[in-house]
Amino acid sequence: MRAKARKSVFVCQQCGKESPKWLGHCPSCQAWNSFVETTISLSRPSAARLYSENKPQELSQVEKDTFLRLKLGFAEVNRVLGGGLVPGSLVLIGGEPGIGKSTLLLQISAMVTEKNRATAYISGEESINQIKLSAERLNINGEGLYILSETGLSIILEHLERLSPSLVVIDSIQTMYLEDIAGAAGSIAQIRECTLRLMHWAKQKNVPIFITGHVTKEGAIAGPGTLEHIVDVVLYFEGEPFSNYRVLRGVKNRFGSTNEVGVFEMSGTGLIEINDPSQVFLPKNNHSAIGSVVVPTLEGSRPLLVEIQALTTQASYGPPRRIANGIDFNRLLLISAVLTKRAGLRLSNQDIIVNATGGLKLCEPAVDLGIASAIASSFYDSKPIASLVVMGEVGLSGEIRAVPQVERRLAEAIRLGFKSCLIPKLTPRPSLDYTNIQLIEAGSIAEALRLVLTTRNVKGKM
Ligand code: TYD
Ligand code: MG
């Protein structure tokens, strides 16, 4: 047998950039002192070999979706995956420690075995006894569910060879190592090689594999960004520490759309899926409250109604503070600036706190006007009109811009019994007949505030 060729390279531990010599400063991700010498084997199972059995096919002859997806016990997970788990796919679930990744995957594994299929749950973090304790809490009896507490990947692959399971879980990729690769478990080289090896195995055996990965404080999966490029699907499991709600978000999916979300609640006996999340993120009664505005946001294909709360108070000392929970901080700064300049709210001496309830992260600009209305409502101590939802993007000159898919958002608001909706003026009138909801159109932020805030005895000028 040919001896394995090896070479020594320097790899950035932040982003995975390789260099033949040591560098103090990474030209790719700008990190300092992040290069570590690593030997890599040149005869790694490259992606080229994985697919080498494929022959060129005429596109017109290719059949769509020929693979039969494995339906998991959670409909929410199936949707995020694009309709079930594709055989031979490698799915990465990233999330902060303690968010519930192991719980989710233990529950999924148990549900797959219920259909008379063996699953292998490999944990590099917990002992068999710890897993047994969690399983008892989750009411999992564990027939057909094979547990292994191991971190050596070659040993794991040998066991898998014998077990030939229909689903494999590797709980956390950061704990796995290969002897023939230099570096400790969790280093870039180890993570990348272990992932490549698992990818190779999954494709060869046509068995799906879930791997978990911890995320750093900055929110990226610890280890290489390259890890996300290797795997087929990347999902993030998120939630606020003080909330029981968890959101599974698709970030990359080679077999479906991204930006789908699945919503769960962490209970004393494991994760429970929430099929009607709008109900969860809304205040229990539909009465309007100062500083509270409901926005219809789109998460993938699904509209969700979420409550945004804002509080403004006189800053007691120092520069005023801005706190954004569940919305983008820079967006909050932008909206505050526009409110000050274009709607006359004197916010420069105000602390502003904005909260999206339920632990959801709202990223789309369509929620801008909702955030602006909530801040203005708190600033003026004035309730928004009752049973209102708000959508619109705020521009720098104070104009309200159109949002995509107005109809889908309106339909969800009507379904949950809302009576009025503030929409951008530019929007072409929705083609459907919305007699159940009153549409209030606003062209500018100042006009929007005039229309939705109930009282006008305000401190600032409107
Ligand atoms: P875990 O799945 O171990 O998180 P991760 O793998 O992402 O690190 O979840 C740990 C947390 O979940 C822990 O704080 C306990 C809590 N938990 C429940 O609330 N209910 C349950 O049924 C289980 C098993 C865990
Ligand atoms: Mg865990």
Q: Does any ligand 1 atom lie closer than 6 A to the CB of residue 262?
A: no
In angstroms, rounded to a whole number, what is the distance separating the alpha carbons of residues 259 and 299? 6
Give the H or E element holding residue 204: helix 188-205
421-457 pLDDT tens trace: 999 986 566 665 667 888 899 999 999 999 988 775 4
CB atoms within 10 A of CB 86: 23
Amino acid occupying residue 216:
T
224-238 pLDDT tens trace: 566 888 899 999 898
Q: Which residues in the chain come in under a pLDDT of 70? A: 1-5, 40-54, 64-67, 115-116, 216-226, 241, 259, 283-286, 426-434, 456-462
Nearest alpha carbon, ligand 1 atom 14: 98
Is 125 in contact with 102 (CB distance < 8 Å)? Answer: yes
Residue whose pair of structure tokens reads 């029981």 in the numeric block: 244
The pLDDT assigned to 65 comes to 59
- Distinct helix (H) and strand (E) counts, the chain: 12, 21
Nearest alpha carbon, ligand 1 atom 13: 98
Six-digit token pair at 121? 């749950």
- Return phi, psi of residue 312, to 5°: -120, 135
CA atoms within 13 A on the CB side of 373: 36
Is 413 in contact with 296 (CB distance < 8 Å)? Answer: yes
Question: For residue 105, which atom of ligand 1 is closest to its CA?
Answer: 2
Cα dihedral sign, 173-174-178-180: positive
Is 133 in contact with 175 (CB distance < 8 Å)? Answer: no
Question: Which DSSP letter does residue 173 get?
Answer: G
Give the H or E element holding residue 18: strand 18-19
Question: For residue 106, which atom of ligand 1 is closest to its CA?
Answer: 2
Compute, in angstroms, the gap from residue 157 CA to the centroid of ligand 1: 27
Compute, in angstroms, the gap from residue 271 CA to the centroid of ligand 1: 9
Three-state DSSP at 236 gives strand
Is 103 in contact with 210 (CB distance < 8 Å)? Answer: no
CB atoms within 10 A of CB 114: 14
Amino acid occupying residue 318:
G
Compute, in angstroms, the gap from residue 287 CA to the centroid of ligand 2: 40
The pLDDT assigned to 223 comes to 57
Q: Does any ligand 1 atom lie closer than 6 A to the CB of residue 134?
A: yes
In angstroms, rounded to a whole number, what is the distance separating the alpha carbons of residues 35 and 12? 4
